[in-house]
Amino acid sequence: MTQYQEKVKEQRIKLEAEKWALGVKALHSHSLDSMWYASDRNDGKVIDVEYNDGSVMRTISSTNEVVMLGQRLTGDDLVSAYQRGGI
């Protein structure tokens, strides 16, 4: 039975990392066009929700349009970021 302990531990950590990924890392309410994850956009007033997995959900205030930005971590990259305590 002990041969499966490492696999069980890896799966537990993976599930924890996937849950952690959905957590909010930061909130930004601004009208800047120089954010590192959206330097090529000029959306005016926005609200950005940055998640632990590296993705950013941007709501454009004037239109209520929602845009996903950034690169979402998955797999081993996500687990590594989780184990480091963040990106």
Residue 31 structure tokens: 């009208």
Residue 58 and residue 39 in contact, taking contact as beta carbons nearer than 8 Å: no
Query: In angstroms, rounded to a whole number, what is the distance separating the alpha carbons of residues 77 and 38?
Result: 22
Residue 51 structure tokens: 């998640």
Query: In angstroms, rounded to a whole number, what is the distance separating the alpha carbons of residues 5 and 69?
Result: 38
The model's pLDDT over 14-72, given as tens digits with 9 standing for 90+, comes to: 999 999 999 999 999 999 888 888 888 999 999 999 999 999 999 999 999 999 999 99
Residue 43 structure tokens: 């959306």
The full set of domain ranges for the chain reads 2-84
What 3-state DSSP class applies to 29?
strand
